[in-house]
């Protein structure tokens, strides 16, 4: 049995996005949010669903000073029969606990958080857009709230779940991206926080993103933090290559790469298709060489937002390579069709990934 979630419904529902209009990512929020508090000695208490609204917080709250903040990202999808799908939501809360452990934030109860997510999504189900590729983005996060300026782990926290209707990532068809290989800054190191979705990881990567944009590239590909030689991942996506017909992706064993749920899903689909999968170190030289010699057939990023994002062009120092003539390849397309098909209820979920709301 789960603790009771107290529900306070809004008396002033907001205008929902109009069907057919563009829905920019992360700007619109539904009518309600889920909140619970943590107090050391008492655990996670007072779970509640309340009207979405700003809240008061002490300016000395530790999250503002020492950055104890972690988040997750997943989506709810409306199926043609009107039912609502979540995609592997337990994986998100398990990963949140890995982030929490690393930042000395208390763990949450995975099953209870999935239950709370379902309840919140159900209350705001009319906020799930139902156009092609549209979904309801779900943002759970935790912040440290002790009003204290000493450096230590906070004794109090707040956990939230926000819902944000979001448009199709590919409103105009799947378009390959141009990627800039970052050779100055690094995102993560062995022993660091790369495997967590902690806020600081994103703050420290903004500078490279800015430089890449200025040079006309959409995303940054990170190299390892020690030798700046091995491929790690893209901004908020893992990266995969099809080389000599095999699926090759960086190993997450060193803890510097975020273990994506989309990454894991692609690997499981590849294996069930009988495709050989290699999770290993892969150097930027190997990628450039495989690109030039034609041994690399495909390259794509994968993550919740886009599902897959084919890479059409890769720039490393003075070398620019074009992959698959700047078009999406058949393996990338297969992963996209399988995952989006399962999410939207159009493809049979033989993996048991979907959780119905
Ligand atoms: C969220 C994220 C990913 C992708 O994870 P998914 O679970 O597939 O959405 C990859 N890399 C980074 C840095 C991320 O923040």
Contact 253, 281 (CB under 8 A): no
Dihedral sign (CA 205, 206, 209, 210): negative
Residue whose Cα lies nearest atom 13 of ligand 1: it is 236
| Distance from residue 10's CA to the centre of ligand 1 (Å) | 32
Across the chain, what does the average pLDDT equal?
Answer: 96
- Is the distance from CB of 78 to CB of 128 less than 8 angstroms? yes
Q: Which atom, in ligand 1's list, is nearest to the CA of 261?
A: 7
Ligand 1 centre to CA of 293 (Å) is: 30
pLDDT (average), residues 300-323 = 95
pLDDT bracket for residue 172 (50, 70, 90): confident
166, 302, 304, 309: residue to mutate for ligand 1 pocket, most atoms within 8 A of CB: 304
Quick: pLDDT tens for 254-273: 999 999 999 999 999 999 99
- Both tokens assigned to 74: 């997943």
How far is Cα 335 from Cα 337, in angstroms, rounded to an integer? 6
- Is residue 218 a contact partner of residue 127, using CB atoms and an 8 Å limit? no
Site residues for ligand 1, CB cut-off 6 Å? 73, 197, 233, 236-238, 258, 260-263, 303-304
235 alpha carbon – ligand 1 mean position (Å) = 8
Rounded to the nearest angstrom, the distance between the alpha carbon of 243 and the centre of ligand 1 is 23
* pLDDT score of 175: 86
Q: What residues are paired with 248 via a beta bridge?
A: 241, 278
To test ligand 1's pocket by mutation, which of 204, 234, 303, 304 has the most ligand atoms within 8 angstroms of CB?
A: 303
The model carries a pTM of 0.96
53 pLDDT more than 90: yes
Asked if residue 247 lies in contact with residue 270, where contact means CB atoms within 8 angstroms, the answer is yes
pLDDT digit string, tens, across residues 75-87: 999 999 999 999 9
| Ligand 1 center to 3 CA (angstroms) | 30
**Per-residue pLDDT tens over the stretch 4-43:** 999 999 999 999 988 888 899 999 999 999 999 999 999 9
User: Could you tell me the distance, in angstroms and rounded to a whole number, from the CA of residue 66 to the centre of ligand 1?
Assistant: 23
Q: Ligand 1, residue 263: give the atom nearest the CA.
A: 8
Q: Name the residue at shortest CA distance from atom 14 of ligand 1.
A: 236
Q: Is residue 117 within 8 Å of 86, Cβ to Cβ?
A: yes
Reading the block at residue 232, the tokens are 């790690």
Q: What is the pLDDT of residues 106-133, one digit of tens each?
A: 999 999 999 999 999 999 999 999 888 8
CB distance 12 to 2 below 8 Å: no
Tell me the C-alpha to C-alpha distance, in Å, between residue 268 and each of 80, 193, 219. Answer: 26, 25, 26
Phi, psi of 161 (to 5 degrees): -130, 125
Spell out a b/e string for 340-357, using b for 16 or more CB atoms within 10 Å of the CB, else e: bebbbbeeeeeeebbbeb
- State the SS3 of 180-235: EECCCCCCCCCCCCCCCCEHHHHHCCHHHHHHHHHCCCCEEEEECCCCCCEEEEEC
Q: Nearest Cα to 335, choosing from 306, 295, 294, 296?
A: 306
Rounded CA-CA distance 148/66 in Å is 10
H/E/C letters for each residue in the chain? CCCCCEECCCCCCCCCCCCCCCCCCCCCCCCEEEEEEEECCCEEEEEEEEECCCCCCCCCEHHHHHCCEEECCEEEEECCCCCEEEECHHHHHHHHHHHHHHCCCCCCCHHHHHHHHHHHHHHCHHHCCCCCCCEEEEEEEEEECCECCCCCCCCEEEEEEEEEEECCCCCCCCCCEEEEECCCCCCCCCCCCCCCCEHHHHHCCHHHHHHHHHCCCCEEEEECCCCCCEEEEECCEEEEEEECCEEEEECCCCCCCCCCHHHHHHHHHHHHCCCCEEEECCEHHHHHHHHHHCCEEEEEEEECCCEEEEEEEEEECCEEEECHHHCCCHHHHHHHHHHHHHHCCCCCCCCCCEEEC
Could you tell me the distance, in angstroms and rounded to a whole number, from the CA of residue 260 to the centre of ligand 1? 5
Distance from residue 171's CA to the centre of ligand 1 (Å) = 21
Give mean pLDDT, residues 176-189: 95
- The model's pLDDT over 278-298, given as tens digits with 9 standing for 90+, comes to 999 999 999 999 999 999 999
In percent, the amount of the chain with pLDDT more than 70 equals: 100
- Nearest ligand 1 atom to alpha carbon 305: 9
Ligand 1 atom at shortest distance from the alpha carbon of 264: 8
pLDDT reading at 171 higher than 80? no
């Amino acid at each position: 049995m789960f603790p009771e979630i107290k529900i306070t419904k809004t008396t002033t529902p907001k205008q929902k996005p109009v069907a057919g209009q563009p829905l920019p990512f992360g700007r619109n929020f539904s009518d309600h949010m889920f909140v619970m508090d943590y107090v050391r000695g008492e655990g996670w208490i007072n779970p509640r669903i309340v009207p979405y609204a700003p809240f008061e917080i002490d300016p000395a709250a530790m999250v503002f000073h020492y950055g104890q903040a972690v988040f997750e990202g997943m989506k709810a999808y409306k199926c043609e029969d009107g039912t609502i799908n979540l995609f592997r939501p337990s994986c998100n809360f398990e990963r949140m606990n890995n982030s929490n452990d690393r930042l000395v934030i208390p763990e949450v109860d995975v099953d209870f958080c999935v239950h709370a997510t379902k309840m919140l999504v159900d209350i705001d189900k009319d906020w799930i857009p139902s156009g092609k590729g549209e979904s309801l983005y779900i943002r759970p996060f935790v912040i440290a709230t002790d009003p204290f300026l000493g450096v230590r782990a906070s004794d109090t926290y707040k956990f939230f779940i926000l819902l944000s209707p979001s448009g199709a990532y590919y409103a105009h068809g799947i378009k390959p991206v141009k990627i800039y290989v970052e050779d100055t800054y690094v995102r993560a190191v062995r022993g660091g926080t790369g495997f967590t979705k902690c806020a600081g990881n994103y703050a420290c990567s903004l500078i490279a993103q800015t430089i890449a944009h200025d040079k006309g590239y959409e995303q940054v590909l990170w190299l390892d933090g020690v030798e700046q030689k091995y491929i790690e991942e893209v901004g908020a996506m893992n990266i995969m290559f099809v080389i000599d017909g095999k699926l090759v992706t960086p190993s997450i064993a060193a803890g510097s790469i975020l273990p994506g749920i989309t990454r894991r899903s692609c690997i499981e689909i590849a294996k069930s298709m009988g495709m050989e999968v290699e999770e290993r170190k892969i150097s930027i030289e190997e990628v450039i060489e495989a690109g030039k010699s034609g041994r690399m057939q495909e390259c794509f990023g994968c993550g919740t937002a886009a599902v897959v994002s084919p890479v059409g062009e890769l720039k490393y120092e003075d070398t620019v390579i074009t992959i698959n003539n700047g078009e999406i390849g058949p393996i990338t397309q297969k992963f996209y069709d399988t995952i989006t098909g399962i999410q939207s209820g159009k493809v049979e979920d033989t993996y048991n990934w979907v959780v119905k709301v």
